[in-house]
């Protein structure tokens, strides 16, 4: 039965495998870039003001936020597919969550980053770029 599925959907599985490889390469490039360019006090506050609230162009900021949410949603969908297909499903789902805006997101991020191994890994990436360590209250 499983072999029939693979035989019937060879092309689709091939495309999904290449998408998985592409997302792996993208994630390997984006994650260090984001971590290095993140302000050291990014996680030190109890809440964060949305960019659209402090923007001079709130309509453009809202459109960009919507696009970011759409991209995050697509990452989550592909991450769920990668849980059963080749790829880094959990990492892709986390990338999608971090891109999206939802209530409690900042609290979730702070909780995740406050895990000692995660914080150590992020600060290791920052040290390679001669950036100060992230501060967490």
Question: Does residue 135 sit within a domain?
Answer: no
Check if the beta carbon of residue 88 is closer than 8 Å to that of residue 28.
no
Question: Does residue 134 sit within a domain?
Answer: no
pLDDT of residue 51: 55
Question: Does residue 137 sit within a domain?
Answer: no
- Across the chain, mean pLDDT equals 82
Question: Does residue 133 sit within a domain?
Answer: no
Distance between CA 96 and CA 75 in Å, rounded? 5
Q: Assign 114 to helix, strand or coil.
A: coil
pLDDT of residue 52: 54
Check if the beta carbon of residue 73 is closer than 8 Å to that of residue 66.
no
Check if the beta carbon of residue 96 is closer than 8 Å to that of residue 72.
yes
pTM of the predicted protein model: 0.66
Question: Number of folded domains in the chain?
Answer: 1
pLDDT of residue 70: 94
Question: Does residue 76 sit within a domain?
Answer: yes
pLDDT of residue 131: 92
DSSP 90: H
- The residue segments making up the domain with residue 108 are 2-128
How does pLDDT run across 91-121, given as a tens digit for each residue?
778 888 888 888 888 888 888 888 899 888 8
């Amino acid at each position: 039965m499983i072999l029939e599925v693979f035989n019937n959907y060879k092309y689709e599985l091939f495309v999904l495998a290449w998408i998985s490889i592409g997302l792996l390469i993208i994630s390997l490039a984006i994650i260090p870039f984001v971590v290095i360019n993140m302000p050291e006090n990014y996680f030190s506050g109890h809440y964060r003001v949305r960019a659209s609230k402090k923007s001079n162009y709130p309509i453009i900021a809202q459109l960009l936020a919507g696009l970011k949410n759409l991209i995050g949603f697509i990452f989550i969908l592909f991450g769920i597919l990668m849980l059963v297909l080749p790829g880094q499903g959990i990492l892709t789902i986390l990338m999608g969550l971090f891109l999206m805006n939802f209530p409690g997101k900042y609290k979730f991020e702070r909780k995740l980053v406050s895990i000692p191994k995660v914080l150590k890994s992020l600060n290791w990436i920052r040290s390679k770029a001669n950036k100060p360590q992230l501060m967490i209250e």
